[in-house]
Structures are given as structure tokens and as C-alpha cells.
Amino acid sequence: MNYIIFDLEWNQPYSNDISFMKRTGMPITGEIIQIGAVKLNENMEIVDTFTMFVKPQFLHHMHKHVKELTGITQRDLSQGVPFKLAYTHFQHWCGSNYMLLSWGADDILMLRENLLLHTMKSIIYEQWADAQMIYSYERFGTTQQYSLANAMKDLGVSSEQLSAHNALHDAIFTAHVCQKLDLPRALMHYDVIRKEAPNPFLYPPGLTFFMYENFQEKKRIVHDRRGRISFCPYCQTRLETTKPERLQGDKYLAIGVCPKHGDFAIQLKVGKYTIKSGETRFYLTKVLSHSTDEISKLYTEKSVINREKERLYFERRQKELLEKGLVKHSESK
């Protein structure tokens, strides 16, 4: 079996523009513009490399930040090939018996999004592993996230005068880190490592996507009827839904139950955009997927954490009001 160490670069829409999601009809966060990969054989030797620019179908103009970070130009994109063709070339290059690895989960999530966007077969559960988690687990016994640069420094991997944020170069760096690890042994026990993953939403993929826009205020968006009420993707039965719990920032999670088809994870995200008049508006995206034990566990943990945060906030607020003499001690109990 070969090990395919891959890296992607992708263009992204500007944060105040939601037309990308409206055109794709999916919660896509970017469009792949470069694929880079290194092939390691069973002896962990580099036997081949792959690189190809991808011509975007939706985001035709480079985001300023992406252009500065990657050095990829508009000319590079114009010389690229459509995603379906690029990915077909990549699959042919990979061969028939291989394991995909990337540094962190961002690349596999972006790849899955773009495969879905182009109605292509997705990556199966057992076909990919997170090299970042393997490194952390093997070196430190945790799944704490470390940058590729830190891992290279830790293991004495040279940059070889190659630049970062180039898909092929980053794949080469990751391959050299993997050569320093006991990769075959780690993959034998990868299910143990995976259970400690900080992101339980790597699998399963989303089933349905909704976007609601033109909210003028942000505060109560996740409790709006359109976000709060959800239906089973299979039988359209209204789901018995829990209270949305904040995960981090403007991301929330609720659990919906269908008597026939089981539990679903309901992921909510609040964002903002600018309308033609220059005013700010807010939108809500909702993605339903099958729930897992890890997702249910995360929801329970966040419920406990959020209730404690609310309790501490209430106590601080009451103390401030007492100090200002706005309430009496009897009223604060």
C-alpha cells in the first residue's frame, strides 16, 4: 500500500459576500485551486509527486488574502483545468491501493465539500487519516493541534528552501514529518486516536443545507423559527429538537430526533454580509447530518459548560447591581 500525502490551496469568498453559497446551494467555504501530493511507498520512501492548478467554476477572481498567502495568480488559475478533470488525474496518479493523509482536517473537509459541489463520489471513512493527530499522539500522547512548522522543527525536518502555502511544498514537508513517525503502527491503532479527535464533525457528511438571510439583528437569530424547526431529511417528520448550544463563536449545535430515522446533528452558524446600500445584515446557515456518539457527547459537554457560564454571568451581574444599589440583597436571591 502507498501513502498519499496531499495538500490543497483554495480560493475563498469575501466574508461580507454570501452570493457564493447562494449560487452553489451548499455550505461551501472555498473552491480548490491547487492540488499537491507526495507518494510514499511501504518503506516510507518518496517515489513520486503530483501538482496541478484547478480552474475555479464559481470564484473566478482571487481573494486578496489568498493571493498574498499562496502567490497563486489569476494567470495560474486561467491555465488550470476544471476540478472534475484535475481530481480524475489525481485519482489515476494515486493508484488503486493507498491511504490519504493530510496535516489537520481542513484539507479533507475542503476536498469533501468540493466533491459534493461537483456531484462526485466522496472520500470513504477508512480512506483518510490526520497526520497532525498521529504526530501529536505519537510524540506527546495527546491530540493537541501543532502547526506543521512546529512539527518540522521538533523532528529536525528542513524546509529545503521551499516556500510554505504551496500545495506541493506543504505536501513534501508533511511527507518528511511522516517519514519520522511510525506511520504503519499508528494507522493500525488509528480508531483509538480518532476517538480523541477535537472535531467530531469530520464524519458523517451533511445531508441537507438551508440558508436564511436578511436578519437585521444578530442576538436571537439561532432561536428564529426557521432555524429552530427542522424536519427529517428522509421522511420529513418534524424533529423533536433540543436547545441550540453554542460551540464557539457564532457556531451552535442542536440534536433532532426522528422516531423512524434516529438522531440528527443540527449545525447552525450565524454570519454577516453587506447589502447594496452598504448596511450590514445577518444570515443563518443550517446543516443536518446523522449524529454520532461523539457529537452527542459534545452537545452534552457544551450544555454543562454553557449553563455554568450563564450562572457565573448572572452572579457577576447581580453583584454589579448590588454594588450600584440598584437591587437589594433580598431581591438578588
Query: Would you place residue 333 in the very low, low, confident or very high pLDDT band (cuts 50, 70, 90)?
Result: low
User: Could you report the per-residue pLDDT of 151-169, keeping only the tens digit for each?
Assistant: 999 999 998 878 888 999 9
Comparing 51 with 78, the larger pLDDT belongs to 51
The confidence score (pLDDT) of residue 103 equals: 96
User: Could you report the per-residue pLDDT of 227-242, keeping only the tens digit for each?
Assistant: 999 999 999 999 999 9
User: Could you report the per-residue pLDDT of 196-209, keeping only the tens digit for each?
Assistant: 766 665 657 778 88
The confidence score (pLDDT) of residue 128 equals: 92
Q: What is the mean pLDDT of residues 315-323?
A: 83
- The segment with the largest mean pLDDT, out of 156-170, 181-195, 249-263, is 249-263
User: Could you report the per-residue pLDDT of 55-106, keeping only the tens digit for each?
Assistant: 999 988 888 899 888 989 888 888 899 999 999 999 999 999 999 999 998 9
User: Could you report the per-residue pLDDT of 122-154, keeping only the tens digit for each?
Assistant: 887 688 999 999 999 999 998 888 999 999 999
Calculated CA dihedral for residues 224, 30, 26, 19, nearest 10 degrees: 70
